[in-house]
Every structure is written in C-alpha cells, then in structure tokens.
Chain A
C-alpha cells in the first residue's frame, strides 16, 4: 500500500470514528434529556462530600456550606435540561456551587455594611513599633523568618489547613471573604469589589491586612512549631 492509500484509509477511519463519537454524544445527551428523571439521591452519594469540602474550605462555616450544597442540588434539579451530558456531572455541579458560594458572600456583606475603618481588619501596628530612629521598621519579635516548606508539601498536610483556617477566623467576614476570593479562587479585583460592594482601595487595604495577619499567624502557629 502506498502513502496516499494509507492516508486515505486513515482519513476514512477518522471520519468514521468522529461520526461515531458525534452519534454517541447525541445519544448521551438524549439519555439525559427530560424523559430520564435525574437522580438527586445518587448525586448526593457521588458528589455530596466533595461539594461540601469545596464549600467549607471557602466559607469556613459548616452550616453555610451544607446550605450551599443543598441549594446546589435543588438548582441542579431545576436546570437539569440545560446539562445535556456535556462535560462531567461533577464539573457541572461545582459550577453551580460556585455561584451559591458567591451568593452567600453577597448576602453576608449586605447584612453588614462597611462602616468603621477597623472593619477592614487588624492593622497590627505593633509589628513595626521600634524606638527611633527605626520606628516603622520590623520589630524583631514579629519580623519574618525563613520558612522551610514548599506549596507542594504544605498542600498535603491536613494540620496546616487547620491552622490556616484558625488564622483566618479572627478577621472580619468581608476581609476573609476578599482574601478567599482573591488568593484561593484567583478572581479579578473588579469581580471581588462587585461581590463585596467595596471600592478597589478598600480591597487593597483588606488584602494587605489579611496577608499581614495570616503570615504572622502561620509563622507562629505552624512554621515555628514545626522546627
């Protein structure tokens, strides 16, 4: 068989495969269409734990996370026709959950409007208290030290995430939410400002205070006690 024949043959095989795939895809989407009832009980068994962990890591509140998971399943039942079997079921559910989490943040901040400056988080001036002429430079009691850990190692340590969680909890709700949306989910500034109804300058102050606080807290409660 010469080269052209081979290529021709391959092309026709590909075309057949492609046609088959399209057919399968259509069957799958037909299979998921309204005739077949969705099975929320199975969703709960298959994805409940994962969705809960996903939510609790971001909301840091068991009840709020449980609510978000329940709302996700309820919304999924309503929107089932739109799913049509494209992509994985879990990805679809996580997509809904993300919206529910953002809704939760929105609700919380609506109930607590930004007032005092201290609402943005602790300033930690004591970190930089020093006698002149060094006022404003690191006080040696709080100055950063070297960390002996990489993200790859940290991610595996469950006790690290416990400390991480505890360190975020004293922060005002809105500041902690801003931190999570930015550093965990990597949302853009404009999106976060819109969700939390704040100006970009407020956001920068909040992120700065959250980082200042969290870094110190992690160093004290994790990195130093690890040595």
Chain B
C-alpha cells in the first residue's frame, strides 16, 4: 500500500517537473553552455532537476564530455603513436623542391 502510494507520488512529481521545467531541447543547449560559461543559479537548479528525471539528457551530457575528453587526448597524443596516413610522395617531393629552391 505504502509502496504503491510512493510510486504514484513519484510519478506525479516527475510528470509535474517535466511539464514545468525547460524542455529537453532547451536543456541540451544549457548543457552545451555549461561547458563554456558558469551557469546562473537558476539555470543550475533547472538543469539538476531535469537531469534527475531525464536519463536521455544525462546521457547527452555524458557523451559531450566523452567527445571533449577524447578529442583533447587525441590532440596531445605522443608523436610516435599518431595514426593515419602521412604526406603523400607527391606532396613530399613538391615541398622538398620548394624548400631547395628557397636555399
């Protein structure tokens, strides 16, 4: 009985919050801005509450941080491990010619 009541209460709080808080579309924009500037207190409270009830936006935020972390790690990769194709032979020779002319 008590459990049932609790579930009902939780459900109605969640519903109310989703109806009154900024939407997911507005929230993802705030999530992006939170990586650029400190959010205001009101923005932070709304974001916290939204994330509390919305797994999708939670994942969204997590993914943005994974993308940032991965891209920055890639940027600082030690030279020996950098993957991908290097200069093409054609470009290398073109640059070599240009450099020798310069001398």
Q: How far apart are A93's CB and chain B's nearest CB, in angstroms?
A: 11
Contact among A37, A50, A151, A154 for B82, CB-based, below 8 A: A50
Number of A-B contacts defined by CB within 8 Å = 141
Q: Would A66 and B25 count as touching, CB distance under 8 A?
A: no
Q: How far apart are A37's CB and chain B's nearest CB, in angstroms?
A: 8
Smallest CB gap from B69: residue in A = A151
Interface residues of B in 83-103 (CB under 8 A from A): 83-88, 91-92, 94-96, 98-100, 102-103
* A92 touches B (CB below 8 Å): no
Smallest CB gap from B62: residue in A = A147
Q: Would B25 and A137 count as touching, CB distance under 8 A?
A: yes
* A204 touches B (CB below 8 Å): yes
Among the stretches B5-13, B29-37, B41-49, the one at the interface with A is B29-37
Contact A158 B83, CB 8 Å, known A66-B91, A128-B23, A204-B32? yes
Q: How far apart are B82's CB and chain A's nearest CB, in angstroms?
A: 5
Size bin of chain B's contact surface: 35 or more
* B1 touches A (CB below 8 Å): no
| A161 CB contacts on chain B under 8 angstroms | 74, 83-84
| A146 CB contacts on chain B under 8 angstroms | 59
Q: Would B86 and A183 count as touching, CB distance under 8 A?
A: no
| B59 CB contacts on chain A under 8 angstroms | 144-147
* A102 touches B (CB below 8 Å): no
Q: Would A215 and B64 count as touching, CB distance under 8 A?
A: yes
* A70 touches B (CB below 8 Å): yes
Among the stretches A8-16, A108-116, A206-214, the one at the interface with B is A206-214
Bound-state Cα–Cα, A155 to B83, Å: 10
Bound-state Cα–Cα, A50 to B77, Å: 11
* A195 touches B (CB below 8 Å): no
B contact set with A: CB distance below 8 Å: 18-19, 23-26, 28-29, 32-33, 35-37, 56-57, 59-60, 62-64, 66-75, 77, 79, 82-88, 91-92, 94-96, 98-100, 102-103
A contact set with B: CB distance below 8 Å: 37, 40-41, 44, 48-50, 52-54, 56-57, 62, 66, 69-70, 73-74, 77, 90, 125, 127-128, 133, 135-138, 143-147, 149-152, 154-155, 158, 161, 183-186, 189, 203-204, 207-208, 211-212, 214-215, 218-219
